[in-house]
Chains A and B, each alone.
Chain A
Amino acid sequence: MDMQPERAEQLQAIYRYAEWPPGEEGAAVAQDFELPVNALDGWVRTRATRELARDGRTRQRSAWIRSPGAVDPALMVELWSCASADDARALLLALLGDMQSPVPASRIADSAVGDVAFALGGNSAVLFARGRIVVRLRNGGRTVVDALPAARDIDRVIVGGKR
């Protein structure tokens, strides 16, 4: 989604965009990277789609539940493959600006997940960029769970460490 210039400046100031570390292009996986069905420990994938968005980014969306038939709790995962690390950072900023809440998401400590990452209180939603990849995890059920462990699982898959 194109952002108005003044809105983009506002968000860059709120999230100290200029201080974000540069992403390593090489750390990102290929454009056809696909999140595996067993990527999240303790979760079962129940719904998955993949689309080439009009902005040229590839988006994978998936819904994860604890067991088949149980829709609560649920984790919603969106993973974008972007054209470059800079493009990924621009998308991450836009996703942060998509929140209606006036309370900014908090920066997650360096090296915990991704190149740059943010979370809402209680880690009810986590957003991070790793190279050319952007990931947004959020709760989809009324029972709210900590999304950070799942974010770490996905990050490990992206960098090819664990699986």
Chain B
Amino acid sequence: MSIEIESIAFNHTVGSQSADAMNVRRNGSQALLTPEWQRGVSSTAQDAPAVYSIADTTGHTITIHVTLRRLRRDMKKVEVRALDMNAGGGCLYSILVGLGLGDWIQPRTGGLLGSVDARRVPFGTNGQTGPLPFTLSNHRLQTSGVDTDIVLWRWQYREGHGAWTDIGVTQHEAFSVLASPTAPWVAQPLASADVLWTDLLRYACDWARGAQNANEAAAAVTRAVYALGAGTVTYDCPGGGSSNYSWGAFDLSAFLDRLNGGVGNGVYVNCSDCATFVSTVANALGADLWQSRMGYGFALNPLLAIGSNVWQTACGWGSFSYHEVAWKGACTATERIYDACLQVDNDSNPAAPPQSPLLPQDMRFGNAGDGDYRDKLSPSGNCSPQPTTRQRRALV
């Protein structure tokens, strides 16, 4: 091997995200250095992440900046490229085809970021190139919707019109989100603790994989959060339904700890926690949701609370003093909600069996008698929207 890759920068133009990756950090305490991939430093795909906004990159040529070093001083007229190792079905598919088992699995599509077009590389007197722009081709960013992928690039070089010679393989964790994030997230400055966290996107982009618009993404996140009730969280009956992750601000670090198998802030969640999970995660993908309450003091129809498989009014209480959901727009009766805290009975008589479970996703809140979310949740009492409680909790 006569060439080495020194570094690869995905977010090479801080302040712009139409031709390159977005500003991101790993989590609340760890920033992400650029160039994201560095020789001798990056060993796993997670070490070198790249996040792209579909809305911002559509119609633009996407580039990365690569710095190379030659190991032979006499090298001239060198071209460099990177092949997409996931193209043609990927490595596993190739092996299975070779074993005669190709009919048993679907070949995977090419990598999310495609391949890196070949280009001529000039070396300076120090044997290095500066950061050189390389163009991505055959990427799936305009068709994939929300996605996450481990990109494997096989780097090669050739001199003149000679044969291509391998340099090595780099791996990168790539994410596509629908658009710039909305609050509490910010797109910049890069140093802000509120730019997107890749530790969250690992879950968010998996939960909403394939979503082509904000409604689909929010609905997918709602389903995924509710599904955490299978083992990760459950409704807070012992604590009276208190906010355990969202009091004052969203303790996202604790939530991630819980998702990763740690204790976090414990197993119990309430409606404010679920509303905050859904809206914050969906907004990271480009949705535009709020957390807002209804109340105060209303009877409940039987429901399936998160983590429970028993139809009952929450914890057998019979009523809620308030409830909170992820909500669109002005958070009034005419706007639509997402509720990952509970399933309602979707039949014509939600007060009695049999139940037809429905997880509220992009559902109109409605007025009493409309047959919308409000009627399915509550038969009586003050279940009015409280739009002055509308907020997007800050991250801690």
Contacts and interface: CB of A to CB of B under 8 A. Distances in A.
Interface of A: 1, 4, 6-7, 10, 46-47, 49, 51, 53-55, 59, 61, 63, 65, 71-72, 74, 76, 78, 95, 97-103, 105, 120, 122, 124-125, 136, 138-142, 144
Contacts of B254: 47, 49, 61
Given A99-B242, A120-B240, A124-B238, A76 B265 contact: yes
A100 B270 contact: yes
B239 A138 contact: yes
A47 B249 contact: no
A140 B266 contact: yes
B240 A125 contact: yes
Contacts of A59: 248
A68 to B, nearest CB: 11
Contact of B321 (A72, A102, A139, A140): A102
Given A46-B263, A49-B253, A100-B271, A138 B242 contact: yes
Given A71-B262, A99-B240, 16 more contacts: A10-B296, A47-B254, A51-B396, A61-B254, A74-B263, A97-B321, A101-B240, A102-B297, A102-B317, A124-B238, A138-B236, A138-B242, A138-B266, A140-B264, A140-B266, A142-B234
A144 B314 contact: no
B368 interface: no
Given A47-B263, A65-B263, A125-B239, A101 B315 contact: yes
B247 A1 contact: yes
A65 B262 CA distance: 12
Contacts of A105: 240
Please name the 10 residue pairs, one residue from A and one from B, whose CB atoms are nearest each other, closest first. Answer: A140-B266, A100-B241, A99-B240, A124-B238, A101-B240, A138-B239, A71-B263, A102-B319, A125-B239, A63-B263
A54 B395 CA distance: 11
B262 A47 contact: yes
Interface in B281-320: 295-297, 314-315, 317-320
6 contacts: A7-B296, A46-B263, A51-B249, A54-B394, A102-B319, A105-B240
B386 interface: yes
A4 B239 contact: no
B314 A100 contact: yes
A63 B262 CA distance: 11
A138 B244 contact: yes
B249 A53 contact: yes
B209 interface: no
A55 B314 CA distance: 31
A141 B266 CA distance: 6
